[in-house]
Structure 1
Amino acid sequence: MIEPAMAAEASGNVAATALWYVGPRECVLNEVELAKAGPQDCVVRTCWSGVSRGTERLVFEGLVPVSEHERMRAPFQEGAFPFPVKYGYCAVGIVEAGPAHLLGETVFCLYPHQDRFVVPASRLALVPKAVPARRAMLAANMETALNAHWDAGSGPADRIVVVGGGVLGLLTAFIAAQLPGAEVTLVDLDPARAALAETLGFGFAQPPDCPGEADLVFHTSASAAGLATAIGAAGFEARIVELSWYGEGAVAAPLGGAFHAKRLQLVSSQVGQVSPSRRPRFDYARRTQAALALLADERLDALISEEIGFREAPARLPALFAGKGITAVLRY
């Protein structure tokens, strides 16, 4: 007996289901028809996809600035900001059809939330055997953290402060803690992050106890208060790397006081371009593979705090975006 999905594929009309954001704090599941796969394309059955509490929350709430509509487009996005839009960029699945060397392989792809999809084989990254498919969903965040360290010029024995204990801040601190002799502190309002920091191998402080005289500071909290804490933590001629995405909001930056006297550098880091320090040798594919390899540490499973069935997403995502967890995944 031929299963309905197999019959549809044989006829060339393959149905899939995708998550769409259709209004402020409203999302639905829509059926879509997959394009016919070419000889260099792969059909991927999704196992997991990741929900970004930062960027994707802004999409969910309709807060992507008009000026950023084009720059904020995700690979394979459909629709347009603010709504309706099919958005997302962390999918892990298994190749069902395509070039022989990829059949049955577990792959990562920058693709929206959808249970099956067709993409060129060149847009897929093989998940290392040492990295479980569920954990591989952290690859996009790990790639952002890796790129930030390249932008920052982190090095051994640095005193490093990371302000903001979301998934990006935690991964940034995790990479920093691998540097020999580095003194790394995560700063966050939530005292519960202390246990995670200990698990991942670095220190923790709340803002009133934030250490000073740091050689390097990363800011990921997307708040004016967090930015002030980051600037205050920097030592003489130190660099503050801003990783936050604020959407439409204007942010007060405390550039008075000792900011100029200490000759501080405030620089942005964004994953859309490979850091200039690596760009001559790293393309996007090499950077993605490097990020995936960095996920071969079972301690990182602690960063996945919530798991939701894909079919339950429209009902449960509003509460998830309003909550304070770390990383949420959709299970297909």
Structure 2
Amino acid sequence: MTDRFARALWLEPPYACALHREPLPERAAGQLLVRSRYSAVSGGTETLVFSGAVPESEYARMRAPFQAGSLPGPVKHGYANVGVVEDGPEDWLGREVFCLYPHQTRYVVDADAVVALPADVPAARAVLAANMETAVNALWDAGIGVGDRVSVVGAGVIGALIAGLAAGIPGTQVELIDIDPAKTALAQALGVAFQRPDTASIDRDVVVHASASSAGLDTAIALAGFEATVLEMSWYGAAPVTVGLGGAFHSQRLTLRSSQVGAVSPSRRTRRDHGSRLALAVSLLADARFDALFEAEDAAFDDLPSVMHRLASPSDNSLCQRIRYD
């Protein structure tokens, strides 16, 4: 290998980041040298890390799989990288792979840390794999079944993926709910109905909340039918959250349940591990509907510092911001 260095994005919370040049380790037997083609910025966790909004109690639990550094100090964070294998065992050479790796131009990992992309999953779409893995876990946690009336509150990346997957279950009636009417086009692309909170259907079998707002959670509870489940997908970081548990919450005998991708859903845990769940998530991205989740323009790797500032702004409405590596 002639070039022994890579460039990587380091977050310096709160609200600072920079691209740094760093040495690559020697590749050992069974390891791969991967050249990045695309990565994606998580509009939830990653922007909370960037803004310094992660509570101290979660510093260790929310570490990314290949994170370098530790909060509250500078960290190399991120977990959505698609690249091509440049060096490694012969049967890996030239293959496109997904890895839960931060934003970095090249990196060395064990072969079992990547998922080879199936032929029908394009590299540009595969950066959604980590988000798709979260959505898969959510459907397992929610127990969505045939014919269920499902509402998803919050048409961000996670909410849209959950709605898109739920729509593929026979007989389901899926509504994607958001305060932004511009999300109608996204819902149409996914093949689900769009509603604003004031027009959404009530008496739902399963309601998934993914808007990261107290108002959205209140909406989710209001839409749930008798003895229904409200699945909370939002992570608020250190921000306080209020929720209305008066009214009909108890008389409706509702279940308010959390879901988080760090552990495989209990309903599948004895038969699935993290690796098989991620491989499933990658395979589900053969569906071209999910191209609707990307911003119209990719951002260049060199522009990542300014991109992070934009995505962390409360006024930003971006979906998945893909990063290209030239």
- TM-score tier (shorter): over 0.9
Q: Which amino acid aligns with 2:323?
A: L
Cα deviation per residue 1:159-197 (whole Å; 9 max; x = unaligned)? 000000000000000001001110000110110111110
Give deviations 1:114-156, integer Å, cap 9, x for gaps: 0000011010011111011010000011110010000111101
Separation of aligned partners in 2, 1:90 and 1:231: 32
In the other structure, the counterpart of 2:300 is 309
Partners of 2:298 and 2:44 in 1: how far apart? 17
Contact 1:62 1:83 in 2 (8 A): no
**One-letter code aligned to 2:300:** G
Q: Does 1:197 align with 2:190?
A: no
Give the structure 2 partner of residue 134 of structure 1.
Answer: 124
Say whether the 8 Å CA contact 2:151–2:208 is kept in structure 1. yes
Identify the residue that residue 75 of structure 1 maps to in structure 2: 65
3-state SS of the aligned residue for 2:312?
Answer: helix
Q: TM-score, normalised by structure 1?
A: 0.95
SS at match of 1:96: strand
Superposed CA RMSD in Å reads: 0.9
Which residue of structure 2 lines up, in the alignment, with residue 258 of structure 1? Answer: 248
Q: CA deviation at 1:289?
A: 1.1
Q: Whole-Å Cα distance in 2 between the matches of residues 64 and 83 of structure 1?
A: 12
Structure 1 residue 317: deviation in Å?
2.3
- Structure 2, unpaired ranges of 5+: none
Cα deviation for residue 82 of structure 1 reads 2.4
Structure 1 segments unaligned to the other structure (5+ residues): 1-5, 9-13
Q: Does 1:120 align with 2:113?
A: no
What amino acid is aligned across from residue 324 of structure 1 in structure 2?
A: N
AA of the residue aligned to 1:325: S
Structure 1 residue runs of 4 or more that deviate by more than 3 Å after TM superposition: none
Cα deviation, residue 7, structure 1: 2.6
Moved more, 286-295 or 297-306: 297-306
2:81–2:98 Cα contact (<8 Å) kept: yes
Aligned residue among 148, 151, 163 for 2:138:
148
2:2 partner amino acid: A
1:267 maps to what in 2? 257
Q: CA deviation at 1:293?
A: 1.1
For 2:292 and 2:278, locate their aligned partners in 1 and report how far apart those are by CA, in whole Å: 21
Aligned to 1:55: 45
Asked if the contact 2:13/2:49 (under 8 Å) is kept, the reply is no
Tell me the CA shift for residue 34 of structure 1. 1.0
Q: Tell me which moved more, 288-297 or 212-221.
A: 288-297
1:304–1:328 CA contact under 8 A, matched in 2? yes
Report sequence identity in percent. 52
Count of aligned pairs: 322
Question: 1:223 corresponds to which residue?
Answer: 213
Q: Secondary structure at the match of 1:86?
A: coil
Q: Is the CA contact 1:162–1:220 (under 8 Å) kept in the aligned structure 2?
A: yes
- Matched-pair contact (CA < 8 Å) for 2:205–2:224: yes
Q: Give the TM-score, by structure 2 length.
A: 0.97
Query: Distance between the aligned counterparts of 1:308 and 1:15, measured in 2?
Result: 22
- Aligned residue number for residue 325 of structure 1: 318
How far apart, in 2, do the equivalents of 1:197 and 1:248 lie? Answer: 31
In the alignment, which of 224, 227, 232 is matched to residue 237 of structure 1? 227
- Give the match's secondary structure for 2:266: coil
